[in-house]
Amino acid sequence: MNRIKAFGAFWYDFVIGDDWHVAALVVAGLALTAILAHAAKVNAWWLLPLFVFAALGWSLHRATSNK
Amino acid sequence: MNALPLILTVFVACAVEAIEALTIVLAAGLTREWKSTFQGMAVALVVLAAVTAAVGPALTLLPLSALRLGVGALLAIFGLQWLRKAVLRATGYKALHDEASAYLREVAAAEAAPKAAKRGVNDWYAFTLSFKGVLLEGLEVVFIVITFGANQKNVGAAVIGAAAAIVIITVAGIAVKAPLAKVPENWMKFGVGIMLTSFGTFWGAEGAGVSWPGNDAALLVLVPLIALTSAGYVFWLRSRQAAVRVPATESEAVSS
């Protein structure tokens, strides 16, 4: 059981890293982009970069606000 | 798309990871035993090559839009991790990765560990230290090689970039016989983070169903834009630090 936990923890740390909010924002940006592109037929190429910039800024703010 | 950005990105990413692996290998080899260290390194390289050979071609069989969506998401998340750490290190919120002190820590641990032969290896500690170091640092490179290579349908070019970096860093390490502490690792990580985030964003959005204005040429705007935004965050954090320090200095002056 401990080995499975350690294996899971390794891959979580490898892919998600120190701040899961970054991954969540990227996935949310991609989901919204797909919905706009397929359901609303909007070519929202500008949306994901906005989410990426926001994810980095938000994560940096969270990491430094208490220091 | 031209293979040069692919080769350069993989080369720099691989060089950074190879420098970190070299520190561990040198600590194991110089303080324990070279034969067991090389055995550990060789087994790790075989595992990494096998993973690349198995997963890389398999990924290229996926439909392009699904591949780009999945790989784009992973690359953007991965790239943002690198960028986040690089910005925090550039602004002093996180300590810079210091190969010299990392080497001293590994040497101290290696000197303290008892020597024991196991499974045909003379020094099991040197073997496992070298194996784990190369495997863990190499996994990130394999991830970048596979995702970049599969997306560009050119795993071979990505492997060339990775192999060139490993050869150059290994030769430099043998020549210097010390960790490569003077290499500007954080700025290299900054560059890799920008490239991974840019390509991840580009491919992820394409996989989600959008068309970029100018197609591949959009990357010529996206890469500098992400670089400028990251530089802007460095400037923002530095000015915030300075704003915190100035009132402190003023209050010290008043109290004295």
Nearest alpha carbon to residue B75 among B136, B151, B154: B151
**ipTM here:** 0.92
- Distance from C-alpha of B75 to C-alpha of B78, rounded to nearest angstrom: 5
Give the model confidence (pLDDT) of A26-58 as tens digits: 999 999 999 999 998 999 999 999 999 999 999
Number of domains in chain B: 1
> Which residue in chain A has the smallest CA separation from B88?
A60
Q: How much of chain A exceeds pLDDT 70, in percent?
A: 96
* Interface residue B142 vs chain A (CB under 8 A): no
Mutate to test the interface with A, among B84, B199, B245 (most CBs of A within 10 A): B84
Q: Give the largest Cα separation in chain B, rounded.
A: 72
Give the model confidence (pLDDT) of B57-74 as tens digits: 777 777 878 888 988 999
- Distance from C-alpha of B143 to C-alpha of B137, rounded to nearest angstrom: 11
User: Domain for residue B256, yes or no?
Assistant: no
Residue range(s) defining the domain that contains residue B143 = 4-241
Answer yes or no: is pLDDT of B194 > 60. yes
pLDDT at residue B62, as a whole number: 76
Say if CB B147 and CB B74 are below 8 A apart.
Answer: yes
User: Domain for residue B255, yes or no?
Assistant: no
User: Domain for residue B247, yes or no?
Assistant: no
Chain A residues in contact with B88 by the CB 8 A cut-off are 60, 63-64
Structure tokens at B65: 């839009």
User: Domain for residue B114, yes or no?
Assistant: yes
Q: Tokens 């260290």 identify what position?
A: B37
User: Domain for residue B60, yes or no?
Assistant: yes
Beta bridge partners of B121: B118
- Distance from C-alpha of B221 to C-alpha of B216, rounded to nearest angstrom: 10
Nearest to A30 among B69, B80, B87 (CB): B69
User: Domain for residue B24, yes or no?
Assistant: yes
Give the model confidence (pLDDT) of B5-53 as tens digits: 778 888 888 888 888 888 888 888 888 888 888 899 899 989 988 888 8
Size of interface A-B (CB pairs under 8 A): 97
* Interface residue B73 vs chain A (CB under 8 A): yes
